[in-house]
Amino acid sequence: MMKNFYLNDLASNGVEFSEVSKKDDNDPTGKCMVFVTPDADRTMNTFLGVSSKFSSNDCDFEKISVSDYLYVEGYLVTSDDALKAVDKAMSLAKNQNKKIALTLSDPGIVGFFKEKFLNILSNKVDLLFCNEEEAMSLTDTSNLDEAFEKLKSFASTFAITTGKEGSVVFDGSQKIKVSGFPVKAIDTNGAGDMYAGAFFYGLSLNKSYEESARIANYFSSKIVTKYGPRIEKNEMKRLLEEYKG
């Protein structure tokens, strides 16, 4: 029943997906408690539940052939079976000359599973997403400038979010600082995912990295002004119409 709830929710929001493999009905649904403080920061307590059993059996690898990018979520490094799925997907993407993007997901994940990230990045990815803290943790540096230079050995291009300041991107040749949009933030949950999604949206329109980062900054600034990690579909349509670039 709970699985159907999530699948119906995805479908109602226009998200295309492949049917998941059958799991033991006794496997519990994952849960995540998020505590938000007055400064808009968050603390998360996550129980993965059945999602901890994610494996190659849950992947529709045929979708890679009709995609421009394979987008790898960094949380997958926490499971050996999931990591095997990542390895297989990345290998297939490379064989088909598809681009590979990776998000570092969370500073704590980077800290605990750094070696696994380094193994993934031993062959450069095409595009890397991270925030300042994640970038410094991965590169063992203490400031953004040093982290920026070291990230060049891991990714051909990358985007580093810098909170209210916006983001810093490397388009393969130059460093570009893109200012953020001033808002009153109340909850940063979902901001990183929104940034990556909006950045890809820009790239899909053949926008430059600078303009894609500006689009990403804009929509990220909208998600942090409300509680929860999602902007409703109708509201998103309105924002897309309003955005002038």
CATH of the structural domain 53-242, one choice from 3.90.1170.40, 3.40.1190.20, 2.60.120.560, 3.90.1150.10? 3.40.1190.20
Gyration radius (Cα) of the chain, Å: 18
Question: Which strand (E) or helix (H) includes residue 230?
Answer: none
Confidence of residue 24 (pLDDT cuts 50, 70, 90): low
Q: pTM for the full model?
A: 0.91
- Model pLDDT, residue 15: 83
Helix segments in 96-190, DSSP class H: 107-112, 114-120, 132-139, 144-151
On whether the CB atoms of residues 55 and 85 are closer than 8 A, the answer is yes
- Model pLDDT, residue 217: 97
Confidence of residue 46 (pLDDT cuts 50, 70, 90): confident
54: which 2 tokens?
């994610």
Residue 179 has pLDDT above 90, yes or no: yes
Please list, in sequence order, all residues whose beta carbon lies within 8 angstroms of the beta carbon of residue 36, skipping any fewer than 6 positions away: 42, 186, 187, 189, 227
On whether the CB atoms of residues 123 and 153 are closer than 8 A, the answer is no
Please list, in sequence order, all residues whose beta carbon lies within 8 angstroms of the beta carbon of residue 203, skipping any fewer than 6 positions away: 212
- Model pLDDT, residue 25: 65
Q: What is the mean pLDDT of the chain?
A: 91
- Model pLDDT, residue 42: 84
- Model pLDDT, residue 209: 98
- Model pLDDT, residue 164: 92
More confidently predicted of 46 and 156: 156
Average pLDDT over residues 37-66: 89
Residue 2 has pLDDT above 90, yes or no: no
Q: Residue for token digits 């159907």?
A: 4
- Where along the chain do its domains lie? 1-7+26-52, 53-242
